[in-house]
């Protein structure tokens, strides 16, 4: 019996220009829900700044503080003491990250000082220098390292030690080149807040990791989403406060655009330096990721607190925070894109053989 003739296959339809555009945006990380959420949070803060400012009846400070504490509790829960000890032994990584954060950043700002002359230029340079003296972010650095599949124990260690060192080194740097007035009691209060909000939750999580660590590992996808939601709340409330206080009103659009481009250049200059130095030092892929995301960031939370402590009653506090606000927004947007891409690459890489 003669078999039926094979039917010709229908030609595969070519994707429409709109579908090709969507695919390109997804590959670039520009359709990631977290990135879109960040842009939406800033836009919403611009439209209704009173909703997330100090005037809001919603206790945003309590909510975000509790959210950050939960982030670190669950990170500690997913760590074992053995993994944490292994991460702490990587002293080259820790020294390099802190060197970039507290030495390379301020020195770069000092080298750029001749470019800023005159009254407004000098004020702008002081704001940029203040940004460069700040510690690294805590929650966002660790979240980005987690998304990119880096060395999480080392990231937690560096984020915490950076915050602790910043309590001393940020006032020291600013006292050398800026006119400040800080109260030791306020700085002590900041240290106590850091212990309650970050260090104790991590310690509690590590101590409970043997009993509940498997549960946290099982639901790490949901925990990752909750981490990102907390960051969105932090960004929303920070921008609400800035818009409510009129930080951006004294600047023309081209001034903010040029400053934003300068912050992009600063971010990529540090990012490139960290990447090159980590390769020279022979870091593993996981350690390079940790160095990149912990060494290239600056903390908006610490910057806002430090500004109120070091420059109380200063009329130009808004100007002081403007570069920090731009850098903070840009670093989250750029870092989230890079972290998502690195995380996707890690999923297709072969597993590292155990020695």
Domain locations in the chain as residue ranges: 34-340
Contact in structure between 69 and 232 (CB atoms under 8 Å): no
* pLDDT less than 70: residues of the chain: 1-32, 35, 79-88, 118-120, 179-191, 193-194, 247-248, 250-251, 305, 308-309, 312-319, 347-355
* CA 220 to each of CA 128, 214, 227, 268: distance values in angstroms, whole numbers, following the listed order: 37, 10, 10, 30
pLDDT given for residue 355 in this prediction: 36
Q: Give the separation between CA 216 and CA 222, rounded to whole angstroms.
A: 9
pLDDT given for residue 100 in this prediction: 95
Q: Yes or no: is domain 34-340 CATH 1.20.1530.20? A: yes
Contact in structure between 220 and 25 (CB atoms under 8 Å): no
Taking alpha carbons only, the member of 328, 272, 146 closest to residue 220 is: 146
Both tokens of 211, joined, read: 């009993």
Residue 254: Cβ-neighbour burial (10 angstroms; 0-12, 13-18, 19+): exposed
pLDDT given for residue 187 in this prediction: 56
Both tokens of 261, joined, read: 């481009």
Residues 6 or more apart in contact with residue 122 via CB below 8 angstroms = 116
Interhelix angle 60-77/220-244, rounded to 10 degrees, is: 150
pLDDT given for residue 28 in this prediction: 43
pTM of the entire predicted model: 0.65
Distance, CA of 322 to chain centre: 17
Contact in structure between 153 and 139 (CB atoms under 8 Å): no
């Amino acid at each position: 019996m003669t078999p039926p003739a094979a039917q010709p296959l229908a030609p595969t339809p070519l994707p429409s220009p709109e579908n090709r555009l969507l695919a390109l945006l997804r590959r670039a990380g520009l359709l990631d829900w977290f990135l879109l959420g960040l842009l939406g949070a800033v836009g919403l803060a611009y439209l209704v700044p009173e909703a997330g400012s100090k005037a809001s009846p919603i206790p945003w400070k309590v909510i975000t503080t509790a959210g950050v504490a939960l982030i670190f509790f669950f990170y500690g829960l997913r760590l074992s003491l053995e993994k944490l000890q292994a991460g702490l032994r990587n002293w080259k990584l820790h020294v390099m990250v802190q060197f970039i954060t507290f030495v390379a950043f301020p020195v770069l700002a000092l080298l750029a000082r001749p470019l800023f002359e005159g009254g407004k230029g000098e004020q702008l340079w002081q704001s940029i220098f203040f940004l460069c003296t700040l510690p690294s972010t805590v929650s966002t650095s660790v979240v980005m390292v987690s998304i990119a599949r880096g060395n999480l124990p080392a990231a937690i260690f560096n984020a915490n030690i950076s915050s602790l060192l910043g309590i001393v080194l940020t006032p020291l740097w600013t006292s050398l080149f800026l006119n400040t007035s800080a109260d030791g009691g306020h700085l002590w209060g900041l240290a106590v807040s850091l212990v309650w909000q970050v260090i104790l939750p991590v310690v509690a999580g590590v101590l409970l990791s043997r009993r509940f660590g498997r549960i946290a590992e099982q639901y790490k996808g949901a925990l990752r989403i909750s981490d990102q939601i907390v960051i969105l709340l932090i960004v929303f409330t920070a921008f609400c406060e800035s818009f409510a206080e009129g930080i951006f009103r004294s600047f023309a659009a081209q001034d903010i655009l040029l400053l934003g481009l300068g912050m992009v250049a600063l971010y990529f200059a540090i990012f490139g330096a960290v990447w090159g130095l980590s390769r020279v030092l022979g870091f593993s892929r996981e350690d390079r990721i940790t160095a990149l995301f912990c060494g290239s960031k600056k903390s908006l939370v610490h910057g806002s607190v430090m500004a109120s402590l070091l420059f109380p009653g200063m009329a130009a506090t808004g100007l002081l925070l403007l570069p920090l606000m731009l850098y903070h927004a840009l670093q989250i947007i750029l870092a989230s894109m890079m972290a998502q891409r690195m995380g996707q690459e890690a999923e297709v890489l072969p597993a590292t053989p155990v020695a």
